[in-house]
Amino acid sequence: MTAFEWALLVVLSMLWGSTFLFISVAGRALPPLSVAAVKVTLAAAALLVVMRQQGARLPAQGSTWRAFAVMALFNDAGPFILIAFASPFVPTGLASVLIATSPLFTVVLAHMLTDDEKTTGRHVAGALTGFAGLATMLGGGSIGFSPSAILGQLACLVAALGYAYASVYGRRFTALRLHPMATAAGQLSSSAVVLIPLALLVDHPWTLPGLSWEAIGALLGLGLLTGALAYSIFFRILATAGATNVVLVTFMSPITAIMLGIVLLGETLGPQQMAGMALIGIGIALLDGRPLAAVMRRIRRG
């Protein structure tokens, strides 16, 4: 990746790392499906407004909208429903580790489904090292063996597999020459079509109490920052750097979440978190390849 793409990836990790903060606030006022429905609706609306001001339009081809629906299923609505199902049965730390297996799945799927992102030993070592760092940083949680815990843990793994498949599948939008904003708006609009009826059916939001200004601010943050802006950046990186690189954000976002906790909530950074961040950094360096190549050149020069 170029320096600009790395900068975009850092921004994306900051946006998606703040998701947990926004959800913790919005979740006090609305059930999970309603939070998700509001998020994707706000995000899609914001992108459509910006596109209209720029004179851009969504594609009209049915095949493209079918592709948007697939992305919505695997990259947005589907994983969120699975994670919401798992949340009562799986500790947050363990859920984070299970969902962060998506780079491991991406390495395998990219090798199987693409011609230009074949897996190497370096890719495998980088993905495993990054995952080990995440497990170290978050503590891993405790694995449960009751039927509900096993189902919840499997749901998290299926969500991770969905994110990985979406990263590979989304490459096709580059060939269609769609602007990243149009791709993001199409996916989010398709997600809204799925999540709004589900939220109405399950949550009965008209029976819920009114929203506080704090909750409204959190929902706006979810929709505009972690939704509209984040997905525009995601598809921009995916179009130029590929699936294996964009999914690195899964490793980086928990670091942002921890740093936000330190800055905003007064939490402390212990040796376990520092060791985990170091392992994640090594894993990312291995996946990128350039730091390792620079070290090898220095060794050869003696």
pLDDT tens by residue, 152-175: 888 888 988 998 899 888 888 877
Locate 203 and state its tokens: 């949550």
Of the candidate ranges 53-57, 224-228, 235-239, 268-272, the one whose mean pLDDT is the lowest: 268-272
The residue assigned the tokens 């299923």 is 73
Q: What is the pLDDT of residue 190?
A: 93
Domain residues for the domain of 296 are 3-301
User: Structural domain tally of the chain?
Assistant: 1
Of the candidate ranges 112-116, 147-151, 242-246, the one whose mean pLDDT is the lowest: 242-246
Q: What is the pLDDT of residue 217?
A: 94
Whole-prediction pTM value?
0.75
Residue 249 — very low, low, confident or very high, per pLDDT cuts 50/70/90? confident
114 three-class SS: coil
Is residue 219 predicted with pLDDT exceeding 80? yes
Assess contact for 15 and 233: CB atoms under 8 A.
yes
Residue 98 — very low, low, confident or very high, per pLDDT cuts 50/70/90? confident
Query: Residue range 27-32: average pLDDT?
Result: 84
Q: What is the pLDDT of residue 173?
A: 82
**Would you give the DSSP letter of residue 212?**
P
Rounded CA-CA distance 252/15 in Å is: 11
